[in-house]
Structures are given as structure tokens and as C-alpha cells.
Structure 1
Amino acid sequence: MQNSIQKPRLTFWQLWNMSFGFFGIQFGFALQNANTSRIFSTLGASPDDLPLFWLAAPVTGLLVQPVIGYLSDHTWHPRWGRRRPFFFIGALLASIAMFLMPNASAVWMAVLVLWMMDAAINVSMEPFRAFVGDKLDSSQQTAGYAMQTFFIGCGAVIASLLPEFFTKVMHVSNVPVNGGIPDSVRFAFYTGGAIYFSAVMWTVLTSQEAPPADMQAFERNRQQAGSVSHAVKEIVAGLLSMPKLMRQLAVVQFFTWIALFAMWIYTTTAIADHLFHVTDAGSQSFQDAANRVGNMFAVYNGVSAIAAFLLPLLARFMAKRLVHALCLAAGGLGLMTLYVIGSADLLWVPMVAVGLAWASILTMPYAMLASVLPADRMGYYMGVFNFFIVIPQILSGLLLGWVTKHWFAGQTIKTLVLGGACMLIAGLISAMISEPEQQKA
């Protein structure tokens, strides 16, 4: 399964250029994660319905990422290469969606734009994971994914702070007018859309891709690959033939992403209710609480950007599975700690622990997988692996609303505690993975 061809080592700036697009992509994800529940609530959605409206994101990932990964494996253009056409198309569509999202005037419109935005983000993001496997030798793959994580963190910090920046620095209104989205959120999405497209185009224009070693064989395989329907059949078959390590990591991902989905959906309403004692999304206090959540998300993403460069160092001294286990345990405890914090000024503390987990989530599973997957099917397997990111989110979207209402009496802060417990379970399972010997080096 492992690719034996020795690839040339890339310089720091080559790693920088090939990963810089993730800086822009994360503007899309960070603004979506920190503000979607805020937008839905401002437009009149109840907390019980938020998980159902959020289903747009994981369902889109389930449908889009495996197919895009498969198609990018079988794409080659003399000028655009293999993965970069998908970078460009996804960035263009995502940027358009980011201009549309804050202009939604009803919940159903916001849900439709979320579908479009998440699909487009996935089109540009999925090939980026395979891009590292394409270009880097196994000795540099952890560094490659760490560089991506660094840009994810940096992009998310800035994007998460944009509503607060426009409110406090640019003196833009943070109050909804006639049930519409506050101007601070609107301008944040406009800025994010422009940066998204520009950053991805930097990678498209500054990075090169090597053509297939045997172009004739590649063309034969591409013809055999056929249509999207053939891709779907191959993806389903791939679920039955996953490498052992991939199956083990799938269980870790399952519990991890339940926790993350709960955090993204409920942190805004949880902090507004638990610490600010407000539930009216049209009030100034609720919008101020939502800005505070953006600051919290900036903290965990900033920590992840720094931790991204520490993880490869840790992986030299202990197995990657143990590094991942420790980081997940820290993140789980961080989420659970939100329940006992009594001051808004201390909300950054648990977010430091969540940032360690986020850095590992974006780095270690892919670093473990990359050297045991065949190079010619890297995008395909990364797409299949995405199933175990979106399936737990879909289940969460269907069940968390019911659990919050009937188990926790609508107290969404307790749903965050449940998410923390799930992340702790993920860490325990990661510690028990039987990691191949070459992964421990």
C-alpha cells in the first residue's frame, strides 16, 4: 500500500506556497462555524431546530468530498495539474456563497446558501489533503499537514475576530435591524470571501504538480474510471476494503466529530444563556455574546496554529496515536470545563485545551494515513475517510436537538459537556490503535 517512490524534499517556502490556500479556506469554515447558528437564531430559528438546519454541512460533505477526491485522482491538465482545477472552482463558488450568506432574509434561504457554501468549500478543501500525499515524501508528510494546520489556525483566528473587529474598531453596527443580519457579520463575510479566493489562487499560481510517471497508464485508468456513477460504486467498495489503520481511525473520528459538531452548533446559545443570561437573539446582549464566542474560537484556532509545529516534534519521541490521544483528552476536558466557568473573562482558558485537540485533529490522522495509502488513490481514500467526519455530524444533527430538549431541558451548555465526554472517549480509543511500525519512526 505504501508508495515506494522517493520524492524530492521541498523547501520551507515551497511548503508555505502549497499550503497557503488553506489560510483562505479556513475563512470560509471559521465564519461558518462561528456565525451560522447566530444567523439562524437572528432569523428566528429555535435552539431545538439548529442541529437540523446544520445538517446541510455534513450531508454536503458526505456527497461531495469522496466524489471530488475520486475525480481529482483521475484528472490531469498540462497547465492546471491534478488538484489545482478543483482548488480554483471551489474557491470561486465558495466566495460567491460567502457574499450571499449574510444577505439571507429567512431561515430557509440561509440553509440553502449553507448547502452551496459547504459544497464549494469541500470542493476546494478535499484535494488539498491529497496534495500533500502527491508532493511530499513520507518523511515530510507530517510537516506538510502541520503547515496546513498552521494556516488553518491563522485563517480561523482572523476570521473569527472579524465581527468583533468591525464592531469595536470600525464602529460598524452589531445590532440586527428589522430581523436582518447585523452589518458587522455582513462585512465579515464579505472580507472573508475576498480573502478566501485570493489565498487559494496564491497556491494555484505558485505551486506546480508533477505529471503522472506513466501517462499512458494514467489515461487508461482514467478511461476505465468513467463517470460519477462509477466513482460512487468505487467509493462504496472502498468502505469494505479500507486498511486496518483507517478502520481504527474511523472510530476515533466518529466520537471526535460528535464533539466538534456540538461545539460549533451550541457554543453561541450556551454562552449567551449560561453566562450572559439571555436567549433573545434579537437583543444587543445576545449579539455581544456571539462576538465573545468568535473570540473564543479565535483562541482555539490560534493555539492550533502554534501547536501545529509542536506536533511533529512530539511525534519524534512518541507514537502518533499517543500524541493524538493526549491532545483529544485535553480538548475533551476543555469543553467540559465550560460548564463550571463563572466569568466570561476566563472563557479563553478551556479554549487553549480545545486548540491542542484541534491541531491534532487536523494533522495526526492524516499523517498516520498518508504513508499507508497508495499514492495513485490518495484523493479517493481521503474522500472515503471523510465519511467518518460527516456521518457522526449527521447523526448529531438528527439527535442532538432531541437530547438537548429532553435530557438537558434545553440547557445547551450541558450538550457541550456531552461533546467533551465524546472527545475523551476518542482519545482513549486513539491510545489503543495498533500503529504500523513505520508510523512510529
Structure 2
Amino acid sequence: MTQALREKPRQNFAGLWNISFGFFGIQIGFALQNSNMSRVFQTLGSSIDDLPALWVAAPLTGLLVQPIIGHLSDRTWNRLGRRRPYFLTGAILSAIALFLMPLSPAFGAPLLFAAAMLWMLDASLNISMEPFRAFVGDMLHADQHAAGYAVQTAFIGAGAVVGSIFPWLLEQAGVSNVAPDGGIPDTVKLSFWGGSLALFSAVMWTIVTTKEYSPDEQAAFASGEVDPPTQPVRALASKSYVGSTLWVVAGLLAVLAVDALRLEKEVLLLGALLIAYGFLSAIGISLAKRGRTANMLSSIVGDFSGMPEVMKRLALVQFFSWSALFIMWINTTPIVTQYVFGSTDTASVAYNEGANWVNVLFTVYNGVAAIAALALLPAMSRRLGQVMTHSICLALGAAGFLMFFFVRDAGALLLAEVGIGIAWASILAMPYAILASNLPQAKLGIYMGLFNVFVVVPQLLVATVMGSIMQAYFPGEPVWTMLFAAASWLIAALAMQRVKAAIPSEKSHA
């Protein structure tokens, strides 16, 4: 094989576009979910206190799906390729869930049906999304990783703008934005149905216009890697069962704390997950000790326990970054409708105007993210480095969250979304660019999937623990959640500074 074939060819802008255009459609789906599901749940009869429990389906499916899909996609090769089979499967299922979601009132248990559709939608979006993260690393030379994730972030922002603004644009066009109690407004219905078509079409664009490198080509590209892909699994055989026992104990303590501390019942789910992981990790270790390292469970447990140092340090940053995002997605609609538009009645004109304004706010932060990804982040990272860039962006986002606590003017909240949008762009680009350049290429899928654990776990904590905190100390006052969000991003900004020592290129600049 020639030297030219041992290095990935550089992609032009058209290549970068095609690689990530499918994410435009995926993010339309996420935006419709994030900006409308609290509204849908409240319309179908849910109280504010019940929203976190209903939302728990989304992060839980990501926690279960992404490591499995990452593991499988690393080992897949068929006519469609390595990652593209998962793009297609996720797109089909997501389109179906988006189509069915607005029909929830027609079913016997509408709130339960809507929660089930949210579960299906999030699982399906994750089936497509995780391989898209690895796809950029697969297709691009290391020196184009930052550009590749910047373009992907721009499409994420653009897709989220389209998904978020759908209901507001339809209202401006004369579509009804109010429905009787228990009914989904026509603006929301048409938005979900249009999003279903857009999502599927965008993903199909990437599938049709890209061709993945074969396993032999990928092996040649990765020939200079030092650590063999099987090393973390082999190392699992030398581990004791102490860690597994601690996970089980932590889960049991969480379960017992529900009655002892009068916590919300959703905390039981968190405890059950901790116990389940403890038992699964023990089984994985046992299989590895018996020499059975080729199974999926041992591979996932081994890779999780043997994460590279840079990934471990970024994990803490992700944990606090996504805690704040989930707080925002759950609580922005109740906060804006209650404090800015002065209504908690889901059938009122004021509430629905406020809910539509949330779509505008989400449109702004996603639009800012799309612009910042291409115009701001590359310049900042060249001048300041990726670590400092991410810290600054997170601090700007924290300032945006603080504005929600103090500001009661709908227009002024647009300024808050600028800071949040810059932080969102950085969250979507910087950690993944760092990882793609510092992880074994043969295991990008599984490592990207495992990295999602630190996106999902904080969301589960918010969905389970935040409800207990708010019910105990701030009942009926969701605006206090924005202080938690601001603090989370400030902690993430500080934690990012620990990442610098684990990145060779950042060390050289230090």
C-alpha cells in the first residue's frame, strides 16, 4: 500500500458538508423534542412537578443505546458501510415517532402514549446520532477534526433553528396555536409531521453522497497507533470486584434514601441503574477472568473502566455541561410562561404565546451556535487553544442562565440566548474534536458511545434528584433551577482546565 493510501485524504467543503448534513435532520428531531415536549406533557395533563419523570425516558434510552450502538458500529461492515446502516435505521424509526407523537390525544392513555413516543424518538435519534459522531473521525484526517466537528455543529445549530421555529412560523402563517384542554395545537402537529420528513431526507442525503473507507483502509490509517484495541478488555481480567460492589452499594443507598429523605420516586430509577451496572460489570469481569473477552459486555465494561486519561478528564466537564442543558430543556417553558407571560393555564392564550416564545428563544441560541461554530470557535481555538476556548464559552453560557433568574422581559431574554448559544456550540464541537484526535481510531464508535454516558447520567440525575430538591425547597418556583444551571456551567469551565495536561498539543503550547 502506498504512503498516500496510508493517510486519509483531505476533504473539501463539499465533503465536510455531505459527511455531516444528516445531523441537520437529526437535530430537527431533537429540537422539536426539546422545545415542545414539556408543552405536550402539560397540555395532556402533566403538572410541573411530574415533568422530570416524564422526561427521564430520553436520557435513559441514550444511556442504554449509545454504548451498544458504538460497539456494534465499530464491528459492522456491509453494503451500506460501517456507520451508515445505523443512520438509516435510526432515521426510519425517528420519522415514525415524530409522526405519531401529535396523535397522542387519540389514544386511551394519551400521556402514557406521549411518554412512550418520546422514549422511541430518543432511542431512534441516538441510534443515528452516535455513529455520526464517530463518522467524522472515521472520514477525516486528524488535522481536519476541528473543522469537521465545527461543520457538524453548524448543521446541529441550523437544524435546531428549523425545528425550534416551526410552531412560531406556522402561527404567523395563520395556523391555530391553541387547542381545547387535552388537545395538541395544530402548530405543534404540523411541526412534528414536517420534521419527520425533513429528518429522513437529510439523513438519506449523507447516506447517498458518502462512501466509507473499508476495514482494510481503516486498519492502514490506524497502523501507527500504540495501544491495541483489545488492551482495555484484557486489562479487565486483572480487576477485582470491589468497584462492582461499590456500584451496587451506591444503588442500594439511593433506593433506601427515597423513604428516609422523602425523595421523589424517580430516584428509585437512578438506584436501579447503579445496581444494574454493578452486576453487569461484575459479570464482565468474570467473563474476562475466564478468557472470554470477545463478548460485547466485557468489551463495553473494559473500555469504560480503561478510558484514556483525556476522556476521563473531559467526562467531568461533560457531566456539568449537560446537567445545565437538561435543566434548561425541562424548565424554560414553565419559567417563561409563568414569570414572563404570567400564565400556567395550558389552554390560555398567554401560556401558548409564552410557549411559542420559548421556540423563538431556542431558535436564537441554536442560530448563534451555528454561526459561532464556523465564525468564532475556529478563531478562538487557534489563538487560545481548545481548552481555554471551551472554558470561556461555558462562562458566557452561565451568564445567560443567570439572566433568566433576574430578567422578566421577553425581548431581553434574547441576549441571554446569545451566551447560551456560544456555549452550546463549544459543547458540541470542542470535546469531540479533542477526543477524535486523541483516541484509537479503531474504537471511535465505542468510545464516543461511552462518552455519552457523561451526557446521559447528569440528565438522569436532573430528572430524578432535581424534582426532589425543587419540591422540598422551591415548590412551584421553577426559576430557581436556572441558578443550578449557571453554577453547573461555571464548574464545567473550571474543570476544563484540568484537561490541558492530558492533550499533547495543548501541553506543547503551555
TM bucket, shorter chain:
over 0.9
**Contact 2:403-2:413 within 8 A present in 1 as well:** no
Give the 5 Å matches for 1:86-125: 86-105=86-105, 106-125=110-129
Counterpart check, 1:196 vs 2:163: no
1:423 matched residue in structure 2: 489
Greater RCO (CA < 8 Å, at least 6 residues apart): 1
The reply to whether residue 308 of structure 1 matches residue 373 of structure 2 is: yes
- AA of the residue aligned to 2:114: A
Does residue 150 in structure 1 map to residue 154 in structure 2? yes
1:178 Cα deviation from its structure 2 partner: 4.3
Q: Is the 8 A contact 2:317 2:496 kept in 1?
A: yes
Aligned partners of 2:345 and 2:297: how far apart in 1? 44
CA contact (8 A) 2:181 2:346 kept: no
The structural deviation recorded for 1:409 is: 2.7
Cα–Cα, structure 1 residues 26 and 215, in superposed 2: closer, same or farther, change >3 Å?
closer
- Range with bigger deviation, 374-383 or 396-405: 396-405
Q: How does 1:283-432 map to 2 (within 5 A)?
A: 283-309=348-374, 310-432=376-498
In structure 2, what residue type is equivalent to 1:244?
Answer: E
Segment of structure 1 superposing worse, 158-167 or 279-288:
279-288
List 4+ stretches of structure 1 deviating above 4 A: 214-218
1:171-182 equivalence runs, <5 A: 171-182=174-185
**1:235-262 deviation digits (Å, cap 9, x = unpaired):** 1221210011100111111111110000
Do structure 1's residue 159 and structure 2's residue 133 form an aligned pair?
no
The count of aligned residue pairs is 431
Residue identity matched to 1:181: I
Look up the match of 2:504.
437
Unaligned runs of 5+ residues in structure 1 are none
Residues 353-392 of structure 1, C-alpha deviations (whole Å, 9 max, x = no match)? 0000000000000011111111111001000110000001
Measure the CA separation in 2 of the matches of 1:86 and 1:153: 22
Secondary structure in 2 matching 1:8: coil
61 and 216 in structure 1: CA distance in 2 versus 1, 3 angstrom threshold: closer
Q: Per-residue CA shift, 1:58-115, capped at 9, x if unaligned?
A: 00000001100110100011x3111011101100110010001111122111100000
| CA 1:321–1:67: 2 relative to 1, 3 Å | same
Instruction: Tell me, yes or no, if structure 1 residue 138 matches structure 2 residue 142.
Output: yes
**Are 2:223 and 1:211 aligned?**
no
Change (3 A) 1:298 1:168: same
Q: Which segment drifts farther, 232-241 or 183-192?
A: 232-241
Q: Is the 8 A contact 2:313 2:498 kept in 1?
A: no
Give the alignment's TM-score, normalised by structure 2.
0.82
What percent of counterpart residues are identical?
A: 49
Aligned 8 A contact 1:42 1:176 in 2: no
User: How far apart are the structure 2 equivalents of 1:283 and 1:366?
Assistant: 43
TM-score by length of 1: 0.94
Q: Distance in 1 between matches of 2:494 and 2:91?
A: 37
How large is the Cα RMSD of the aligned pairs?
A: 2.1
**2:337 touches 2:343 (CA, 8 Å); kept in 1?**
yes
Q: Is the 8 A contact 1:10 1:136 kept in 2?
A: yes
* 3-state DSSP of counterpart to 2:76: coil
- Output the CA distance in 2 between the equivalents of 1:63 and 1:251: 20
- Alpha-carbon separation, structure 2, partners of 1:133 and 1:232: 24
Superposition deviation, residue 17 in structure 1: 0.8
Is the 2:44–2:181 contact (alpha carbons within 8 Å) kept by the matching residues of 1? no
Structure 1 residues 15, 300: CA separation in 2 closer, same or farther (over 3 Å shift)? same
Relative to structure 2, which stretch is displaced further, 308-317 or 65-74? 308-317
What does residue 60 of structure 2 align with? 59
Rounded to whole Å, the distance in 2 between the matches of 1:344 and 1:159 is 20
Q: Is the 8 A contact 1:20 1:202 kept in 2?
A: yes
Match of 1:82 in 2: 82
* 1:69 counterpart = 2:70: yes
- The residue identity in structure 2 corresponding to 1:266 is N
Gaps of 5+ in 2: 223-228, 234-291
User: In structure 2, what is the Cα distance between the partners aligned to 1:69 and 1:414?
Assistant: 37
Amino acid in structure 1 at the alignment position of 2:370: A
Between the aligned partners of 1:122 and 1:388, the Cα distance in structure 2 is: 14
Contact 2:154 2:369 in 1 (8 A): yes
User: Is the contact made by 1:297 and 1:351 (CA closer than 8 Å) also made in structure 2?
Assistant: yes
State the SS of the aligned residue for 2:114.
helix
SS in 2 for 1:338: helix
